[in-house]
Structure 1
């Protein structure tokens, strides 16, 4: 299953893990968006629920665990090349939860990792919409 120029959308998960006004973010080590800061996540494996995928990806990429239950948001991420062809298409379920345990360290596809204060989200190159998504989902969780 190719991630670039796929024959069908790929289903993935993303995890907004937060702790003391900070968000756990990873610097992507692979395309698409290599070198951009993002929420940890990845593709759902065959036979795996969305929740299982979210828990696995968070642990693999960061070594952390969070209190996760249901997706907080689902969205399409579609990129096109200069000719208008779809170069990537992901359907992403975003989970949001408070940090539970684990020593945060970059692993798997993550080139780097950091607990980013909310006021510093715009100070780095992120995947499209990430700062806005983080603020919106954290505001929803507080209600």
Structure 2
């Protein structure tokens, strides 16, 4: 019998010039892959409070505007692990004020997150081998996949060491 656990997170989607703002994960099932800035809610925190805090922690930049919230989910079973994680995630389109998009620091060394910093990555360079299921769902949005609203299944997920 398959065991399930649930993870819920809130993430920011920043697109500019055919590039997506990504973080470099340094822990967890998406280690050594690109992911979106964001993460888990803290007790009593609203969705947008989580969005603002997590994006600041992982990129060093403050959000100036946000819109277009949407929710998706993925089932992720790491190879060699007994449980399958049902990852439910809320995405917001975000922007930064005063051209801050170009001033993303390479590394945010505050110890508050599982990111090794932010980077703008060409959309054409993102794929299942180097990206999290969250980014793969954004790619489905961009390509207007007919399966966009369906849960994604990654039942043989390999953590990159």
Q: TM-score, normalized by length of structure 2?
A: 0.67
CA RMSD of aligned residues (A): 3.0
Q: Alignment partner of 1:89: what SS?
A: strand
- CA-to-partner distance for each residue in 1:94-120, whole Å, 9 max, x for gaps? 111223237412333212421112333
Equivalent of 1:98, from 89, 95, 98?
Answer: 95
Structure-1 residue corresponding to 2:125: 120
Aligned counterparts, 1:1-143, within 5 A: 8-66=5-63, 67-71=65-69, 73-81=70-78, 85-100=82-97, 101=100, 103-105=103-105, 106-107=107-108, 108-122=113-127, 125-128=130-133, 130-131=135-136, 133-134=138-139, 136=141
How far 1:53 sits from its partner (Å)?
0.4
* CA 1:136–1:76: 2 relative to 1, 3 Å: closer
Native 8 Å contact 2:35 2:134 kept in 1: no
Native 8 Å contact 2:128 2:136 kept in 1: no
Unaligned stretches of 5+ residues in structure 2: 145-161
Q: Alignment partner of 2:52: what SS?
A: helix
Aligned equivalents of 1:115, 1:82: Cα separation in 2:
29
Aligned equivalents of 2:72, 2:137: Cα separation in 1:
13
Aligned equivalents of 1:29, 1:77: Cα separation in 2:
20
Q: TM-score, normalized by length of structure 1?
A: 0.74
Aligned equivalents of 1:45, 1:116: Cα separation in 2:
29
Aligned equivalents of 2:130, 2:7: Cα separation in 1:
24
Spell out structure 1 runs of 4+ moving beyond 3 A: 81-85
* CA 1:83–1:133: 2 relative to 1, 3 Å: same
